[in-house]
A = this chain, B = another copy of it.
Amino acid sequence: MSDEKKTGRERAEEWWQTSIMEMRPGLIRLRGYEIQDLIGRVSFPAMIWLMLRGELPSEDQAALLGIALGAAVDHGPQAPSIAIARMAATCGVGINNAMASAINVLGDVHGGAGEQALSFYGDIAAAMDGGTPLAQAVKTRLDRFFAEEKGYVPGLGHRFHPVDPRAPRLIELTREFAARGVVGGRFADIAGAIEAEVAARKGKTIPLNIDGATAVIYGELGFPPALTRGLFVLSRSVGILAHAWEQSQQSDRNKGPLPREWLWAYTGAPARPFPNDTE
Contact = CB atoms under 8 A, between A and B. Distances in A.
Interface of A: 7-48, 51-52, 54, 56, 63, 66-67, 69-71, 73-81, 83-84, 86-88, 90-112, 159-166, 168-170, 173, 226-227, 229-230, 233-234, 237-239, 241-246, 248, 253-260, 262-275, 277
Stoichiometry (number of copies): 4
A56 to B, nearest CB: 7
Nearest to A16: B264
A230 B93 contact: no
Contact of A107 (B14, B92, B170, B242): B92
Contacts of A29: 271
B263 A23 contact: yes
Contacts of A101: 84, 100-102, 104-105
A165 B36 contact: yes
A40 B71 CA distance: 9
A92 B70 contact: no
B242 A52 contact: yes
Contact of A44 (B70, B229, B253): B70
A38 to B, nearest CB: 7
B165 A26 contact: yes
Contact of A20 (B95, B170, B239): B239
Contacts of A164: 26
Given A19-B266, A30-B73, A43-B66, 18 more contacts: A12-B12, A14-B259, A16-B86, A20-B74, A22-B271, A26-B161, A33-B274, A36-B166, A36-B169, A40-B67, A47-B70, A78-B263, A84-B88, A98-B105, A101-B105, A230-B241, A233-B237, A237-B237
B166 A56 contact: no
Contacts of A81: 91
